[in-house]
Amino acid sequence: MAQQPFLERILISEEQLATRVQELGRQISADYRGKKPLFVGILRGCILFYSDLIKNVSVDCTLDFMCLSSYSGTSSTGHVRTMLDLRESIQDRHVIIVEDIVDTGLTLEYLQNHLKDRGAASIEICCLLDKPANRKVEVHPKYVGFTIKDEFVIGYGLDYNELYRNLPYIGVFKKQ
């Protein structure tokens, strides 16, 4: 691939992503047999991961989305806002939150507290990437694609100022 000015290096290739996402889909399918889970995708970072994940889920499931915002540029603002809420009730549902990356954990802490009050039967987190070095609050994703170092990454849904979400791999962003 030609050298890209915004890219330090490729961290996780398209092939590695496909293999791991397939494994996660199989694991979730085994864990949720007979439960009809509700996959709640957190927009917009989840989009590629979410669509590849659910293609690998073999149990009946339903889909919904939320849009939260906490990041500006390459750092977390710490303030989480709900820009788009769920369409369906989650009362008595087995909810699987699908998130691109857990960094400080503030977004998911906010979301878990917010959803707990709505009567879900269970809530678990499935994240593609986990960056534990930067954690500010305790959040424990049950399903993790890859654990990575504290580097700002882009691609496969992840952006820098809304760019690069369409890259088919995960790369380390090169600061100019």
Residues that bind ligand 5GP (CB under 6 A): 45, 70-71, 76, 99-107, 131, 152-154, 158-160
Residue 172 CA to residue 10 CA, distance in Å, equals 6
CB of 55 to ligand 5GP, least distance (A): 21
CB of 92 to ligand 5GP, least distance (A): 27
CB of 60 to ligand 5GP, least distance (A): 27
Q: Which is nearer to ligand 5GP, 28 or 66 (CB)?
A: 66
Both structure tokens of 78: 């710490």
Q: Which is nearer to ligand 5GP, 146 or 152 (CB)?
A: 152
Q: Which is nearer to ligand 5GP, 6 or 152 (CB)?
A: 152
Residues annotated as catalytic (active site), given as ranges: 103
Helix (H) or strand (E) holding 67: strand 62-72
Residue 35 CA to residue 10 CA, distance in Å, equals 37
Say which residues have a Cβ less than 8 Å from residue 163's Cβ, sequence separation at least 6: 6, 154
Residues 88-102, buried b or exposed e (16+ Cβ, 10 A)? eebeebbbbbbbbbb
